[in-house]
Amino acid sequence: MDTNDYINYYTILGVSQYAKYREIKQAYRRLALKYHPDRNSSPFAEDVIKSINAAFEILSDRDKRRQYDKVAIFDNMARNKEKNQTHVDVRSQKTNTTTTNNTSHNSKGRFHIIVEPTLCMAFGSCEILAPNVFAVEKDKMINPKARVESETSDDFETIVAAAQTCPTKAIIIIDRNTGEQIYP
């Protein structure tokens, strides 16, 4: 799996990276009941259930999960390397002072925000309205996607407005407390 195509299966199921099998299974069943195309008439239910099934397939198998976690570690290292770029301070060129710029926000809020990669066409309207929440992979030449940078960096109304501008409805907002899908 290419690290640019990395999908966070833990986020899809809404479980911790340290979740036990029982928690993963419970989350899968809850989401499968909610998004199964026989029970959910949303035009995106089929795509969402495919993501849920893929996440469960990987996370429920000990060997596949171990391999997946290894890829996740390398993906996080690559993203951190991009975000922690070193800048030369022009005012103090004599001492070559460098600073690190880290804008990574990994906090989780009440609302779980998912960008469904099979639907995302990377139009960028979400990034324009909520640049602290969404980022489009501009460095990826083939099939770039938007991704969630932080679920708490903008107010809820701004995030919903950004989601509503997505023409393919690739942004899914779920209330973590109730499990209810807020958008679409």
Residue 143: the pLDDT is: 83
Domain boundaries, the chain: 1-104, 106-184
Buried-exposed string 19-30: b where 16+ CB fall within 10 A, e elsewhere: beeeebbebbee
Most confident of the following: 38-42, 45-49, 93-97, 110-114: 110-114
Q: Give the class (CATH, top level) of 1-104.
A: mainly alpha
Per-residue pLDDT of 8-34, as tens digits, reads 788 888 888 888 999 999 999 999 998
Q: Which amino acid is at 71?
A: V
Buried-exposed string 3-17: b where 16+ CB fall within 10 A, e elsewhere: eeebbebbbbbbbee
Q: Does domain 106-184 have CATH number 3.30.565.10?
A: no
Mean pLDDT of 131-142: 89
Percent of the chain with pLDDT over 70: 77
Task: Read off the pTM.
Answer: 0.45
Q: Which amino acid is at 130?
A: A
Least confident of 59-63, 101-105, 160-164: 101-105
Beta bridge mates, 135: 147
Residue 60: the pLDDT is: 92
Do 106-184 and 1-104 have the same topology in CATH?
Answer: no
DSSP letter (8 states) at residue 88: E
